[in-house]
Structure 1
Amino acid sequence: MLRQPAIRRLAQLPTRSPFQSRVQSRSLLSRRSSRTHGRPVENLNIRQLSEQSEEYQRNRRIFLWCGTVAGVVSFIYTSYKIAVELSKPVQLDSSLPSTDPLAGPSGGADRKVVVYDEEGREIVPTGNSTVPTFPRTIDLPDYTGPISSSSNSDSADPSTIPTLTSPTTEYTLVGLGLRTVTFINLQVYVVGYYVATSDIAALQAALTKKINPIATTLVPGEREELRALLLDPVAGEQAWDELLRSGIPARSAFRVVPVRDTDFHHLRDGFVRAIQARAPTVGSPRAGTAAEDEAFGEAMRQFRAVFNRGSVPKRKELLLVRDETGRLSITYGGDRRAGRQLIGVVEDERVSRALWLNYLAGKKVASEPARKNIVEGIMEFVERPVGTVASQVVPVINAKP
């Protein structure tokens, strides 16, 4: 009897199927998992992290290589600049004030530089690789003649070639430059203007008096006025024409050295065109002066005959020398074996004067760099007291060109 109530109570309990048990267990587990989701969790993308690391390392390597290259380039550039600065000669008077009569237009910075070659000779760099230097001074004899204008051999009459015992005169380089032709600036030759050292004083005095009649040297402002005068196409040509007519400088020369192989005919054609272009200036024949016409024509025939020769290899020297009478002497050679040989003389001073004006002044000159460099050399002269030879170069001992 006691069991019946218990059985009855068990029967009243709700019955659960196995499926309901599994659902209940899952709900319990689900509640547990939902509670765990509340914790902070970091989701990592391994592939993305790997790509970011590779990109960082790549950028780091690029940055390090750029720094290395920049350091090497800066080191090389700095070393080069130091070497260039150390190779420059010291300008001995560069610290002089601009108002000092001995100071150049830019404190001495524009002075030509002369160096000594391995044999101790003074040379001036030209800036050209084929003809890299010109001698600062040359010694020339007093050429005598005339020689036959009909001679067209490659060597002059031995009786007209000065011997080694002939007295010589020292000529000092005033300025030089490169002659170019055509619109592509084809380089032809380097030309340098030399003046007899003992005649520089007369040139100093004449140019100084043109600006200040009572001065013995020109101050910077006066030098600028003279520079403008000499560079002016009209005034400069008039000034040089007056000087040359009066025999100032008494003795001078143009040294021509080709930078490429050429021949006498090409050089002659250029010189003849220059003389003809300057004919009105130098007082060439005018209408009604038959005697002058005939004399000038004969002088031009003599001049052309001098160049009736063959080839002129590069680096060979052609020297045009004008003496105190205006006579033009032409020499060729200049090497150590044969020396300079006199190949022609033209007596009419108008020929040499026209050639000189072709380089020194006018609207169109044979070489504008040479004309400007010659003017700067003149400035070196007039900044010194008259009667002193201008120290237009600053020597650097044991320097190689």
Structure 2
Amino acid sequence: MITSRSVPTGLARSALRSLGQPITTPCQQCRTFLRPARHSGSRAYETINLNRMRTQHHDYHRNRRAVLLGGALAGSIATCYTAYRLVDAVRNPTQFDAPASGPDKVDPFVTEGGVKRKTVIHDDEGRELVPTGNSTITTFPRTLDLHLGAQAAQEKVNGVEYTLVGLGVRTVSFLGIQVYMVGYYLATQDIAAIQARLVKEINPIATTLVANEKEELRKALLDPVQGEKLWTEILREVRPRSAFRIVPIRDTDFHHLRDAFVRAVQARSTGRPAEFGDDEFGTAMRDFRAVFNRGKFPKKQELLMVRDNSGHLTVTHDTSGTGAARETIGQIPEERITRLLWMNWLAGSKVASEPARQNIVEGIMEFVERPVGTVATQVV
């Protein structure tokens, strides 16, 4: 067989054809270690599935976009959270003598002889204060002397003393952003009535509760069903004069508070048309919304909501935050509004502030361990 190391051209091609010799190329003559030379008569084919390629291309870019979006979202959340913690640390630096758990972890109760008591301190003017454990709103007054929310004319003149039962912080979102500090106050003169009602709930013949009975009452107050039933009976039947004091930890506005309060009342009244479906309740809800149609609510100012012994609501606003400049901004003469609003902090499966609910229960435990009628004359 005639072969050539170069591709035959011209007369050489004609001569090879006349002799019947095949025309070969150097590539066709090559041998490799792993693959034999390809013959001139063979052809390679590749099957291409365009639909499969299109699907794979679409899936690749879809998954790529999802991964990029998730990374961007996670990065944004981490950046915002880190910025929030840095700003909070700059604005509220931890002092060197602060407890190891941090200023926001301080328990406002101190344990004495196995019994929890509220920690009470005094300021330069001798006023009694209760530490909150918060670095922005550091203390709450132990007592309030109010000249509003009382029915009797003599009480309006002399004022009514309210004693702090418990307090806690309201947080929102999974980041635990602190919104406001809230404290629950009871009229000192009405504590005996609540004592009697709570003690009789556990032991009808007792005047005070022992350790195991206190634990039973604590569980009842913290239980979503039992706690709501017990507090509802107290608010409807005993009707103690009480107040919630709210102090923002960060700047907010009245519209945000209004929306939160309205949602809380509506959530507890929905599905109960027989009790809350009348026109009077609807009118009271509109009036309640109107009370909070105001502007900014800067941090450290005070909002006070007082419930008298008829269930009527009085709302005051104090720009000083000390109670020296309280101004009445609205009144709602509807017992059901205050009852549902109070339950937003006191009981149920979901409350506005779980730390406040827990702290209020601890304050109630201070009352029931003493004989009925003695707390009003000796409040720690």
- TM-score normalised per structure 1: 0.64
The amino acid across from 2:176 in the alignment is N
The amino acid across from 1:245 in the alignment is R
Cα distance in 1 between the residues matched to 2:324 and 2:279: 36
Structure 2 residue corresponding to 1:265, chosen from 255, 266, 278: 255
Cα distance in 1 between the residues matched to 2:170 and 2:245: 12
| Partner deviation per Cα, 1:361-398 (whole Å, 9 max, x = no partner) | 000000000000000000000000000117564xxxxx
Structure 2 residue corresponding to 1:183, chosen from 171, 174, 196: 174
How far is 1:117 from its partner? 0.9
Is 1:274 paired with 2:264? yes
Cα distance in 2 between the residues matched to 1:365 and 1:89: 20
Cα distance in 2 between the residues matched to 1:89 and 1:175: 9
Change in 2 beyond 3 A, CA 1:191/1:310 = same
2:360 is aligned to 374
Structure 2 residue corresponding to 1:341, chosen from 323, 327, 331: 327
Cα distance in 2 between the residues matched to 1:358 and 1:252: 14
How far is 1:285 from its partner? 3.2
How far is 1:219 from its partner? 0.4
1:94 is aligned to 112
How far is 1:334 from its partner? 5.9
Moved >6 Å (runs of 4+):
88-91
Aligned-residue CA RMSD (Å): 2.9
* Conservation of the 8 A alpha-carbon contact between 2:121 and 2:129: yes
* Conservation of the 8 A alpha-carbon contact between 1:211 and 1:225: yes
| Partner deviation per Cα, 1:73-105 (whole Å, 9 max, x = no partner) | xxxx9xx99xxxxxx9997x934xxxxxxxxxx
Cα distance in 2 between the residues matched to 1:238 and 1:144: 26
Structure 2 residue corresponding to 1:222, chosen from 195, 199, 213: 213
Cα distance in 1 between the residues matched to 2:323 and 2:370: 39
Is 1:297 paired with 2:271? no
Structure 2 residue corresponding to 1:326, chosen from 287, 311, 335: 311
Cα distance in 2 between the residues matched to 1:201 and 1:349: 22
How far is 1:143 from its partner? 3.7
Cα distance in 1 between the residues matched to 2:362 and 2:157: 33
- The number of equivalent residue pairs is 274
Give SS of 1:166's match.
helix
Change in 2 beyond 3 A, CA 1:130/1:216 = same
Cα distance in 2 between the residues matched to 1:204 and 1:313: 37
Is 1:135 paired with 2:144? no
1:122 is aligned to 128
- TM-score normalised per structure 2: 0.67
Give SS of 1:176's match.
strand
Structure 1 residue corresponding to 2:273, chosen from 285, 298, 319: 285
Cα distance in 2 between the residues matched to 1:337 and 1:352: 22
* Conservation of the 8 A alpha-carbon contact between 1:143 and 1:329: yes
Change in 2 beyond 3 A, CA 1:205/1:334 = farther
Pairs within 5 Å for 1:141-160: 141-143=147-149
Cα distance in 1 between the residues matched to 2:254 and 2:167: 21
Change in 2 beyond 3 A, CA 1:256/1:186 = same
Cα distance in 2 between the residues matched to 1:272 and 1:333: 22
* Conservation of the 8 A alpha-carbon contact between 2:169 and 2:181: yes
Instruction: Give me the identity figure in percent.
Output: 62
Change in 2 beyond 3 A, CA 1:204/1:337 = closer
| Partner deviation per Cα, 1:45-83 (whole Å, 9 max, x = no partner) | xxxxxxxxxxxxxxxxxxxxxxxxxxxxxxxx9xx99xx
Cα distance in 2 between the residues matched to 1:331 and 1:205: 30
1:206 is aligned to 197
The answer to which structure, 1 or 2, has the higher relative contact order (CA under 8 A, 6+ apart) is 1
